[in-house]
Chains A and B, each alone.
Chain A
Amino acid sequence: MIDRVFKTRSTPKESRQLAKDVVEFLAGFIADGDALHDMDIMLTEACANVVRHAYDGDSGELEVRVRVSPGESVELEVVDWGCGFDEEVRFENPGPESEGGRGMFIISMLSDSCEVRKLRGENILFIHKDIGRPQWKS
């Protein structure tokens, strides 16, 4: 298992860059472009949630903890120290005319499991993604 932590401020630009940095790190292990694109989308959505909701329109700390189990899976924890998720987090797809609210749904569709956790002041979005052996670098 390989663990790595990435940190930044939760501005739109820096959070997108953070997602890219994590994907670049994962590309050291994963060969499959589609799998990397899925990771990119999930990370970008999760980080964008922090930008939009965590610090009441302000920016704050944003951290991504990555755990790579080569040949098996990737786990992500997207962490902020802001106001936290609503009690009921929605993973549903909103109606077609809704302009927002699709981020969590996209993450739930692309991951094998995901959940929100609150731990010692940390708001954590946990994402687990199984990645088949042929998709890894040999």
Chain B
Amino acid sequence: MEKLTLERKDAVLYAKLKGEVTLDITNDLKRSINEELGSGVEKLIMDLSGVDFMDSSGIGLLVSVNTRMRSGGKAFFLYSPSPQVEKTLSLVQLLSFFEILSDEDELKAAMV
């Protein structure tokens, strides 16, 4: 899927989303991510720097992935949400709910 790039490094999965994350693609995204999570991923980092539009179904996707990771005792981070995504997350009061990596140093530390 062109909107989603997955990179695997040992038990860390780096997922980069691009463009718009809305109702017409969230089910497909969820399926692709869940398939990959089935194979021993201990930490998921979702790069949202290239997402210029996210609606509530996109937020639902993040919440669902977060619940799956945390209930399995695994880590889930958002990396560098774009200003548009940050605004929507803040509107629904979820900015502090997710663990957010804001710069490359934090990303590098989390990738280990």
| Residues of chain A whose beta carbon lies under 8 Å from any beta carbon of chain B | 12-13, 15-16, 37, 40-41, 44-45, 48, 51-52, 93, 96-100, 102-103, 105-106, 109-110
Instruction: Specify which chain B residues have a CB less than 8 angstroms from the CB of A98 in the assembled complex.
Output: 63
Instruction: Specify which chain B residues have a CB less than 8 angstroms from the CB of A51 in the assembled complex.
Output: 23
Instruction: Specify which chain A residues have a CB less than 8 angstroms from the CB of B88 in the assembled complex.
Output: 41, 106
* B23 near A12: Cβ-Cβ < 8 Å: yes
Instruction: Specify which chain B residues have a CB less than 8 angstroms from the CB of A99 in the assembled complex.
Output: 60, 63-64, 67
B91: which of A40, A44, A100, A109 is its contact (CB, 8 Å)? A109
B interface bracket (residues with beta carbon within 8 Å of A): 20 to 34
* A48 near B57: Cβ-Cβ < 8 Å: yes
Instruction: Specify which chain A residues have a CB less than 8 angstroms from the CB of B64 in the assembled complex.
Output: 99
* B55 near A44: Cβ-Cβ < 8 Å: yes
B73-96 vs A, Cβ < 8 Å mask (1 yes, 0 no): 000000000001001100111100
Which label, helix, strand, loop or mixed, suits the secondary structure of the B interface? Answer: helix
Instruction: Given the known inter-chain contacts A100-B56, A102-B56, A106-B88, please indicate yes or no for A93 contacting B93, CB distance below 8 A.
Output: yes
| Residues of chain B whose beta carbon lies under 8 Å from any beta carbon of chain A | 20, 22-24, 53, 55-57, 59-60, 63-64, 67, 84, 87-88, 91-94, 97
A48: which of B20, B23, B97 is its contact (CB, 8 Å)? B23
* B91 near A106: Cβ-Cβ < 8 Å: yes
Minimum CB–CB distance from B64 to chain A (whole Å) comes to 5
Instruction: Specify which chain A residues have a CB less than 8 angstroms from the CB of B59 in the assembled complex.
Output: 102
Instruction: Specify which chain B residues have a CB less than 8 angstroms from the CB of A103 in the assembled complex.
Output: 55-56
Interface contact tally, CB-CB below 8 A: 58
Residue ID in chain B nearest A104 by CB atoms? B56
Residue ID in chain A nearest B59 by CB atoms? A102
Instruction: Specify which chain B residues have a CB less than 8 angstroms from the CB of A52 in the assembled complex.
Output: 23
Most A-side CB within 10 Å, residue of B22, B55, B67: B55
* A41 near B55: Cβ-Cβ < 8 Å: yes
Q: List 25 A-B contacts (CB under 8 A).
A: A13-B24, A15-B23, A16-B20, A16-B23, A16-B24, A37-B87, A41-B53, A41-B55, A44-B53, A45-B55, A48-B55, A48-B56, A93-B92, A96-B94, A97-B63, A97-B67, A98-B63, A99-B64, A99-B67, A100-B56, A102-B59, A102-B60, A103-B56, A105-B92, A106-B88
